[in-house]
Structure 1
Amino acid sequence: MEAYVLSWCIIGDFNDLMLTDEKRGGRGHPRALLEGFSETVMDCGLTDLGFIGEKFSRERARGTDRWIQERLDKGLATKEWCEMFPGAQVQVLEVSTSDHLPLCLQLNRQVYVPRSRRFRFENMWIQEKECQGIIKDYWTDAGNRELSDKLLHVVFDCKSGVEVWKEHNKILRLQDENGDWKDTNEEIQQVIIRYFENIFSTRATNYQLLDRAMFPKISKQQGQELIMPLTEEEVKNVIFTMHSEKSPGVDGLNPAFFQSYWDIVGNDVTVFCQNFKYRGAAGGGKLYACVSNTKSETTKTGL
């Protein structure tokens, strides 16, 4: 084979293996394919750059007896290229929704640190008394700040307190649909998968078309009611009619948070809604929906 003097590096999914230990699970990779790929790499004057992080970059059928893991993705480079970039390294990133993990080629020896996951309030925390104490302490500590500032204070400061508590409350076992307890990681994973598959499975739905539907207009009295000052009772009613598990806003706090801790946050939420209605004060998350729904509740009377 003709020798090339150009320094080069190739990185990605080669869809083949070089060594037997680059596969876990399933049948062993054919030796002829192992030898053929390895010889091709050598003939091209390439060397494996190795990796940092998870060894197996591709998997399928996780959590089953057909679970297979393989190192199909790798970085290869010539000797000349390695001399030009002696600090180069390939890091396997665990941030993919694909069955392949992405690779990050660093020319200088650095470690990629993925962004932390966005905070989301978990409804199961409500069942624990410790969580309520954490919320109350941090909300009180925020003092007389604007509601938007208080929410940020709770999310960024209270987050650490809640998640430290959460680390001591891990799932050790789950009861499946037949009432049997499962305690291994694989069994627990399958119970969760089956539960959500059942929730999100398609069901027959009967849709009725609206033919020449007539919708009444609001009356003058209802129009006057729309511009009346909001009361705490109106705001509370709207908050508590929201489904507790609706998607959280950008602050990570869902309706269940406001419903469960209304005695703590209710007054601030009411003041926010009143300011938003009359002065357009900024805020975020579920509270925009609260203001909108509070306005529309009046128009429902008699319609």
Structure 2
Amino acid sequence: MDVTFVYAFNARLDRRGLWSHLQSISSQVTVPWLCFGDFNVVLNIDESLGSPHVQAKLDRILVSPQWFASFRSTATFLNAGISDHSPCLVQIDGMASPCRPTFKYLNCWALSPQFQSTVCRSWSSHYSGGHIVSLFQKLKQLRSGLRQLHTSSFTNLSDRVAICKLALKHCQDNLSSSPMDSNLLREERALVQEYLQISARKVRNNIGSILDAAGKLCTGSYEVAQGFLAYYSSLLGSSTPVLPLPSHLFLQDTVSPEQCGSLIQPVRVPEILDALKSIDRNKSPGMDGYSSGFFLDAWTVVGQDFKNAVLEFFQTCSMPKVANSTLLVLVPKMDTPLTVKDYR
């Protein structure tokens, strides 16, 4: 990695040499680059507050796209104390490992001629433990086949990132011999913007640091996870014994014997498919990543197992843990979330 420390001049004209020097470095550096310090200038006018004591955002931490791709890191500005500047703390949580994204069924996969055969290959296996457990085991095994189908038949986002990085490297190699070429500089800016847009999801999905509910700074994957876990545990509560209801709270008006009989009638097989079709195929999938669209697209292969699993649930009134899990997805409420309360 390369690290550049900045302490800029106070006068605007004296800082021009700094900008030219940083521009030259950015066109030549090919490794992860960190540039931080006192730039002595605000980026926007709203970063400066007026009298009686002028406060301005002069200290910054800047990194290159290669830095995001190489490290999991956090940047924190500490209290100024007796100084008139805020100390910058950069913490590297480790190398950025290419984690596999969460599996999610895509409707376009059903358009591939290999879709049905891919499902059939995974569905030929047999599992013990009941119809529900067998269904979820087959779905789990099918994920790898559908991922391979996506890589071979549809646009691979990782390839787009690699192509963009290669084009950016070629452009910066040319800039090293012609650092003031305006066309090359414009091309570099456009490629950097494209690269950041493509890889923005990966950056957003990484929460390097967060303030917990008590205002304590959590850094590193484990501390961040524990901070969110404690916060949502307090919101969602914990398991408690079921208390009996007082008799005066019971409803006086009850269903008739005929209505009661209709409510406890056995589930009929045609009702299962009707209920599945009533679910929007674009609704958020469960923790296994499969939406109702998958079961409809592959009904000729998976339909019988799906119906057996539903019937088993109503016959045994038992739901295995594998089928009764949920997933908490953190969605930021703002562009720069700082605390666990800034997510929903």
For the aligned pair, the TM-score class normalised by the smaller chain equals: 0.3 to 0.5
Which structure exhibits the higher relative contact order, with contacts defined as CA atoms closer than 8 Å and separated by 6 or more residues? Answer: 2
Structure in which a larger fraction of residues adopt helix: 2
TM-score by length of 2: 0.40
